[in-house]
Amino acid sequence: MFLVIFGLAVAVAFFFYLKWETSLYVRTIDLIPGPPKVPLFGNALLIPLDTYGSLQKISVEWPNKYGHFYRGWFGFKGYIDISCPLLVEEILSSQRFIDKGSDYDMLIPWLGEGLLTASGNMWRKRRRLLTPAFHFQILDNFFDTFNKSADILCQQFDATQSDDKEIDVFPYLKRCTLDIICEATMGIQVNAQQQDSEYLYAYFVSIWSLLPRWMYFMTKKGKEYQKYLKIIHDFTSKVIRDRKREIELEEAVNESKDEQDAARESEFTPKKRRAFLDLMLIAAKEGNLTDVDIRNEVDTFMFEGHDTTACAAVWFLYCMATHPDRQELVRKELDDVFGDSQRPCTIEDATKLKYLECCIKETLRLYPSVPHIKRFNTEDYVLSNGYKIPAGASYSIHIYALHRNEQLFPDPLAFNPERFQIDESAGRHPFAFVPFSAGPRNCIGQRFAMYEEKVIFSTLLRRFRFTYDMEKHGPALACADMLLKPHHEMPLNITRLVRD
């Protein structure tokens, strides 16, 4: 009896599979070149399970074999994989492709419908509401935070100094960027570089390691994931409640003052720097945001502004350590701007650091923090290359492959910051380099991130020299899940500079 039922189940499943396989959706996508697929699994069985191997397969091997426009199948879901600038521009610059689809659903329990995961009109409203928080004049206010955290990072590196001792710098950089984003986003100091707490453990260690590939909330790990999510959400909610009460109290006090007192206080009392949370609470009065909406945006800023910057930083130090000639050129520029001074970096200083910026951009070309992004096709669409893409398919923009396209960047594996100097970059397609995405859904915090990195790197390279033992470790390998991280540790030798 069991065999009969099993046989019927297999027959029914096979019938529906054949029906799906011959559907217009599948036949349309299969007109695009791509790797052979296996029934039920698509191309999934061809992709290595490890994150280094999977990156090499989908962003190096397949673009080389099938071109910078190919199709892939993950189970029953079709993906259009793109790494040529013309099509990248067509997708990213269009309001038609604002939705991200189900690929980001695993983040919703953590981030809710924040700026990263929201779609359609909700995303448009939030983007309009939050864009003023990243105005140039507001970003200037965060340089004190950048400099303070960079100084603490230097103290941490100093404390580890010993002869011939290698340091895995990635954990230090993650704690530094977490300090910065907590203070910039919520206006609080968590002192991640100097102490631990339940919140830091939940955020810094557990959430990323437990981030579910499937919704497995009934399993032991799933329940552990929910536990740490609750710690993070409760912490953020408390910060929001406390800050709302503080703002209400400040407003009540201000209303009780007469105009003369208020003018006198305004003249002699320095203005308090506002965190992004403060700006959101002010905007919320006009934008009808609930506390949960605000929490989602705060958690989104924390998510997008912490590990992404730490990943960029660890690859930058690796590139500096493996290219000492470029490191010295950066240091020469720092000497020109700062002299022998260890003073804080100002926004005026940051704008002068042109070669440092070229090195940051070249690092992001080789090692984009987000190696691929997704967009969802909500309706049938014919691309400019003539291929029809059916509704329900997803576009996968392979930034990693795009940035290593030798037609766009000759000798693409070489670290060559000069390619981002004005003369060298003239005529390059504007969508050939998109480390922060591009178009209407580009990264809202990209200027914040660039200033943050300039302050951290200008502080570190004025005090330390970084080297990497290539003979001992070999080239560092990159692995990609959501972010592009070192496959193993990033052991660097750090030497204090001796100034004459």
pLDDT in tens, the chain (500 residues): 666 676 666 555 555 555 556 688 889 999 999 999 888 788 989 999 888 999 999 999 999 999 999 999 998 899 999 999 999 999 999 999 999 878 888 888 888 888 999 988 889 988 988 888 887 778 889 999 999 999 999 999 998 876 668 999 999 999 999 999 999 999 888 888 988 888 888 877 666 665 665 555 567 777 788 888 899 999 999 999 998 888 888 877 777 665 555 555 444 344 556 788 888 888 777 767 888 999 999 999 988 888 899 999 999 999 999 999 999 999 999 999 999 999 999 999 999 999 999 999 999 999 999 999 999 999 999 999 999 999 999 999 999 999 999 999 999 999 999 999 988 888 899 999 999 999 999 999 999 999 999 999 999 999 999 999 999 999 999 998 889 999 999 999 999 987 65
Q: Does 431 map to a domain?
A: yes
Residue 197 lies in a domain: yes
Residue 278 lies in a domain: yes
- Tally of structural domains, the chain: 1
Q: Which domain holds residue 487?
A: 31-496
Torsion sign, CA atoms 228, 183, 495, 358: positive
487 CB contacts (<8 Å, ≥6 apart)? 51, 52, 476, 477, 478, 479
Q: Is residue 191 part of a domain?
A: yes
DSSP single-letter state for residue 396: E
105 C-beta neighbours (distance < 10 Å), count:
11
Q: Of all helices (H) and strands (E), which one includes residue 304?
A: helix 291-322
What is the structure's pLDDT at 380?
A: 95
d(CA 57, CA 131): 37
**Helices 276-287 and 220-256: crossing angle, nearest 10°?**
80
* Domain CATH for 88: 1.10.630.10
Residue 27: how many other CB atoms lie within 10 Å: 11
359 is in an annotated binding site: no
Residue with tokens 């400099």: 147
Tell me the chain's radius of gyration from C-alpha atoms.
25
For 132, 150, 155, 182, 246, the CA distances from 145, given in Å and listed in that order, are 20, 8, 16, 10, 21
- Report d(CA 14, CA 480) in Å as an integer: 34
2: in domain: no
| Partners of residue 398 on adjacent β-strands | 372
Q: Where are the alpha helices (DSSP H) in 44-99?
A: 51-56, 62-66, 85-92
Residue 1 belongs to a domain: no
Amino acid at 39: P
Q: Which ranges of 435-485 would DSSP assign to H, the alpha helix? A: 446-463, 470-473
Query: Is residue 397 situated within a structural domain?
Result: yes
Rounded to whole angstroms, how far apart are CA atoms 25 and 389?
Answer: 9
As a whole number of Å, the end-to-end CA separation of the chain is 89
In a domain? residue 6 = no
Backbone phi, psi, residue 124, to 5°: -60, -45
Which of 46, 50, 47, 49 minimizes the C-alpha distance to 485? 50
